[in-house]
Amino acid sequence: MSNPQILLKARPKDRPGPEHFERVETAMPVPGRGEVLLRHRFLSLDPYMRGRMDDTASYAAPVPLGGVMEGECVAEVLESHHDGFAPGDWVRGARGWQGFSAAHGSSLVKLPKDGGGVPHSAYLGVLGMPGTTAWVGVTEIGRPKPGDVFVVSAASGAVGGVAGQIAKKYGCRVIGIAGGAEKCRYVKEELGFDDCLDHRGDLARALDAACPEGIDVYFENVGGAVQEAVLPRMRAFGRIAFCGTVATYNTRPLPPGPNLSVLVRRKLMLQGFIVSDHPNAWPVWRERGAAWLRDGALKFREHVVDGLDQAPEAFIGLLEGRNFGKLIIRL
């Protein structure tokens, strides 16, 4: 048996293509002391991986050329040299775009063997990093109050879909922004947002109609033209949870930005955040989110693609909005 891996072959100048990835077969990893041998069952594909392909200063180191692409996995333990794990256990860990790995037990989070009422893949999405990001951004930075107008971009996605549902539970009027009629319908009818606006249309006009009184909280996932339409419509003392700007991840050089003087004039609070700086939020969200899922009070959608070989093409599509829901590779 061998271990299939997807490596970073070259650094993209702008949009990544298949030529930036290389698929190889390597020897099966051998677990050492304190390690477990993992068979990866699901791989999470997330927008942040585009940043890891660049060799620029960031909050995390880039993937080295020839290195295995980074990513979180849900995996099954095949063999254990760690007291805390036994064969048949399910775990989550940052194990990369590959079929198998040997990991130290201390780097893994144990999951319920039967999934605990949700599919195991949900620990990469709604109950994983994206769901926790939504929880941190809404509760710690957006600080919503009943009656607030709460706008969230990439609203059908892994982070945005959860963020808007949490804001609804805080009594906000929640307006999503998404690409296309089908995503907007899902956000409104299935996730229960009050409205959802298509950013492919005249977004400025649609925002004026949907929130004539302005916006109190903006959960920013997209940047670019969407951000330009939202910022001038913020109300005084609004809050912006600055989570990401996926629309700009393939753009080099970066385009001139919107006029940020509105931050001053409206006394807005804008705070960028990275979910990994909030370790205490993870268990809180996992418990709270799981309870809401059990009650049917939280919905999620996965976009599952079969096979490690499909990961590069699926990832390229994620940066262009071709995914509909949390993008997961099933291995």
Ligand X SMILES: NC(=O)c1ccc[n+]([C@@H]2O[C@H](COP(=O)([O-])OP(=O)(O)OC[C@H]3O[C@@H](n4cnc5c(N)ncnc54)[C@H](OP(=O)(O)O)[C@@H]3O)[C@@H](O)[C@H]2O)c1
Residues near ligand X, by CB under 6 A:
46-48, 129-130, 133, 154, 156-160, 178-179, 183, 199, 221-222, 224, 226, 243-247, 273-275, 318-321, 323, 326
Convert 286-295 to b/e letters by CB count within 10 Å (16 or more is b).
Answer: bebbbebbee
Q: How far apart are CA 257 and CA 259, in angstroms?
A: 7
**Closest-approach residue to ligand X (CB):** 157
Q: How far is the CB of 278 from ligand X (least distance, A)?
A: 8
- Torsion angle of the four alpha carbons 228, 229, 231, 233, in this order, in degrees rounded to the nearest 10: 160
Q: Tell me whether residue 146 or residue 279 sits nearer to ligand X (CB atom).
A: 279
Q: Tell me whether residue 28 or residue 181 sits nearer to ligand X (CB atom).
A: 181
Q: Tell me whether residue 183 or residue 239 sits nearer to ligand X (CB atom).
A: 183
Q: How far is the CB of 3 from ligand X (least distance, A)?
A: 27
CA angle 97, 23, 313 (to 5 degrees): 70
Find where tokens 């910022």 sit: 231
Q: Which amino acid is at 208?
A: D
Q: How far is the CB of 189 from ligand X (least distance, A)?
A: 15
Q: How far is the CB of 248 from ligand X (least distance, A)?
A: 8
Q: How far is the CB of 264 from ligand X (least distance, A)?
A: 24
Q: How far is the CB of 268 from ligand X (least distance, A)?
A: 18
Q: Tell me whether residue 238 or residue 321 sits nearer to ligand X (CB atom).
A: 321
Q: Tell me whether residue 98 or residue 323 sits nearer to ligand X (CB atom).
A: 323
Would strands 149-153 and 173-178 be described as parallel, antiparallel, or unpaired? parallel
Q: How far is the CB of 147 from ligand X (least distance, A)?
A: 26
Q: How far is the CB of 2 from ligand X (least distance, A)?
A: 31
Dig out the tokens for 257 from the structure.
Answer: 């930005």
Q: Tell me whether residue 98 or residue 156 sits nearer to ligand X (CB atom).
A: 156
Nearby residues of 320 by Cβ (< 8 Å), 6 or more positions away: none
Q: Tell me whether residue 121 or residue 323 sits nearer to ligand X (CB atom).
A: 323
Do the Cβ atoms of 164 and 193 come closer than 8 Å?
A: yes
Do the Cβ atoms of 297 and 13 come closer than 8 Å?
A: no
Do the Cβ atoms of 68 and 41 come closer than 8 Å?
A: no
Q: How far, rounded to the nearest angstrom, does the alpha carbon of residue 167 sit from its chain's CA centroid?
A: 17
N- to C-terminal Cα separation, the chain? 15
Dig out the tokens for 110 from the structure.
Answer: 């144990």
Q: How far apart are CA 99 and CA 104, in angstroms?
A: 17
Q: Tell me whether residue 121 or residue 156 sits nearer to ligand X (CB atom).
A: 156
Q: How far is the CB of 104 from ligand X (least distance, A)?
A: 24
Q: Tell me whether residue 47 or residue 96 sits nearer to ligand X (CB atom).
A: 47
Q: How far apart are CA 269 and CA 70, in angstroms?
A: 32
In terms of Cα–Cα distance, which of 187, 247, 248, 241 is closest to 219?
241
